[in-house]
């Protein structure tokens, strides 16, 4: 059970774009089902899981040049709520408990996030899904993931994307891109590798929070990471 794992409580950051699959927008049911299956295996082994999901399959506030930034960010936060509810339904339809806790007050949809509520739910084997970002504009979901990881005292932050780690340049654009198995936070900042936004990286570094970047579509990657096996890229001090 959990005693066989290096990381027993994790914050898993999911890319919103990844949920859309090849379509690039909305939801891909096969990907959602596969994602849920991966997380179910962790829960079955006693791992406590807290999720933060992006909203890029709906709207990315920071990249929308045609809207007021604050308004675009709030729309993005609402997109994370929709993604969170979709994941909650996917878990519950398979017989697993999942709770959406939102930073945005949306009565009748999801309770407000609190550390106490999140820890209580996880201790009962419930997947906690953190929605609504931080509840404030000008903060990314990467920043939200770090914040929530620190609040729930996660052993590690795992960022699951479409790429299998951190590279010296975009491997989707450059076939000669070099992957790092391990790298320090200082190096990611100095090399401007775009692992996360700079404020999120700085917060990880300041609080000595380990970060693993991996490909969610690689079957068993998150499970292997929790076992302490080399997968993706590990970012540390």
**Domain residue ranges of the chain, discontinuous segments joined by +:** 2-232
Which band of pLDDT confidence, cut at 50, 70 and 90, is reported for residue 64?
low
The pLDDT value given to residue 63: 56
Instruction: Give the tens place of pLDDT for each residue, 158-184.
Output: 999 888 999 999 898 898 999 999 999
The pLDDT value given to residue 57: 85
Tell me the pTM.
0.94
**One-character DSSP codes across the chain:** -GGG-S-SEEEEEEPHHHHHGGG-SS--HHHHHHHHHHHHHHHHTT-EEEEEE--TTT--GGG-TTS-HHHHHHHHHHHHHHHHHHHHHHHHHTT--EEEEESS-BTTTBPBP-HHHHHHHHHTTPEEEEESTTSSTT--HHHHHHHHHHHTT-SEEEEEESSSSEESS-TTT-TTPPEESEEEHHHHHHTT--SS-HHHHHHHHHTT--EEEEETTSTTHHHHHHTT---SEEEE-
The pLDDT value given to residue 222: 96
The pLDDT value given to residue 217: 85
The architecture in CATH of the region 2-232 reads 3-Layer(aba) Sandwich (3.40)
């Amino acid at each position: 059970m959990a005693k066989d794992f290096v990381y027993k409580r994790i914050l898993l950051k999911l890319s919103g774009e990844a949920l859309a699959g090849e379509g690039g927008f909305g939801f891909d049911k096969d990907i959602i089902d596969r994602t849920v299956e991966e997380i179910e295996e962790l829960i079955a082994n006693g791992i406590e899981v807290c999720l933060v999901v992006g909203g890029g399959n709906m709207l990315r506030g920071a990249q929308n040049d045609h809207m007021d930034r604050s308004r675009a960010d709030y729309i993005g936060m609402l997109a994370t709520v929709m993604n969170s509810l979709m994941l909650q339904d996917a878990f519950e339809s398979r017989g697993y408990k999942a709770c959406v806790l939102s930073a945005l007050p949306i009565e009748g949809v999801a309770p407000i996030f609190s550390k106490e509520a999140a820890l209580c739910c996880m201790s009962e084997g419930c997947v906690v899904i953190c929605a609504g970002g931080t509840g404030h504009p000008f903060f990314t979901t990467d920043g939200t993931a770090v914040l929530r990881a620190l609040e729930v005292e996660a052993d590690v932050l795992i960022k699951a994307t479409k790429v299998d780690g951190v590279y010296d340049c975009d491997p989707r654009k450059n076939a000669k891109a070099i992957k790092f198995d391990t790298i320090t936070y200082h190096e990611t900042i100095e090399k401007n590798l775009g692992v996360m936004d700079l404020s999120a990286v700085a917060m990880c570094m300041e609080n000595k929070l380990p970060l693993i970047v991996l490909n969610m579509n690689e079957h068993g990657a998150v499970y292997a990471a929790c076992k302490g096996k080399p997968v993706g890229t590990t970012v540390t001090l």
